[in-house]
Amino acid sequence: MEKIFSRPKSLRNISTHYCPGCGHGIAHRLIAGVVDELGIRDKVIAIAPVGCAVLAYDYWDFDCTEAAHGRALAVATAIKRVRPQNIVFTYQGDGDLAAIGTNETIHAANRGENLTVIFINNAVYGMTGGQMAPTTLLGQKTATSPLGRNAQREGYPLKISEVLSQLSGVKYIERTSFYSPQEILKAKRAIKLAFQNQIEGIGFSLVEILSPCPTYWDMSPQKAMEWIANIMIKEFPLGRIK
């Protein structure tokens, strides 16, 4: 039991700045555990973008670098090409990956860059005040859609994983979630496979994680998890997409 609940060596023992119930802490721990299990701590390089996880490098005890908003995959591409021996991954939210960084995302995927992407989808801009994101659900209220997202006015939720799955350069995409312990374990397995793909030189891999944002969803942490299970997965079905 001690081994199961012990802190991964790749995760620093410090307090988090994230809001209560936020999913980023879970994701950080899963990634740190996978890095330890694969024995790649001395090879891995993380790209932290602009967003709630802008301070991810404070929590991971391995090499990290920053990227301008939306440019994480451009930075990752450069690092991987200069240092192909390293295991390079980006950690991006829906605004970073699917809005301001859509261009970088699509073209890195289309080129089949041998990278790993961890995509946190909480359907809202978290760091900047809870504005509507590309992944915001129809009817969902945000700071910039106070009446709820309307398809005619703001368009439909962007299913970026399904879009990327059509590209020949993409080798693996899976959508997971954090709404239960069982789903968290599935997310860890998907993250591990995405890293293994890069180690084996298979190509571009992305794991999307439906993650709670109780603060800007205006819900308790428990209600946020229930909202993912009962509402969000209807728009973003779980499972392997490619």
Spatial separation of the C-alpha atoms in residues 67 and 69, rounded to whole Å = 6
End-to-end, the C-alpha distance of the chain in Å comes to 35
pLDDT of residue 3: 53
Region at 201 (left for phi over 0; alpha for psi -120 to 50; beta for the rest): left
Beta strands in the chain (DSSP E): 44-48, 63-66, 87-93, 116-121, 170-177, 204-210, 239-240
Helices (H) and strands (E) in the chain, counts: 11, 7
pLDDT at 219 over 70: yes
**Full residue range of the structural domain in which residue 232 is found:** 2-240
Q: What is the pLDDT of residues 3-38, one digit of tens each?
A: 556 899 999 999 989 999 999 999 999 999 999 999
What pTM did the predictor assign?
Answer: 0.94
Q: Domains in the chain: how many in total?
A: 1
* DSSP-derived secondary structure letter, 228: I
Q: What is the pLDDT of residues 107-158, one digit of tens each?
A: 999 999 999 999 999 999 987 888 999 999 999 999 999 999 999 999 999 9
What CATH number should be reported for the domain holding residue 233? 3.40.50.970
Angle in degrees, 0-180, between the axes of helices 181-199 and 24-38, rounded to the nearest 10: 50
* Tokens of residue 228, six digits: 């993912």
Spatial separation of the C-alpha atoms in residues 109 and 87, rounded to whole Å = 16
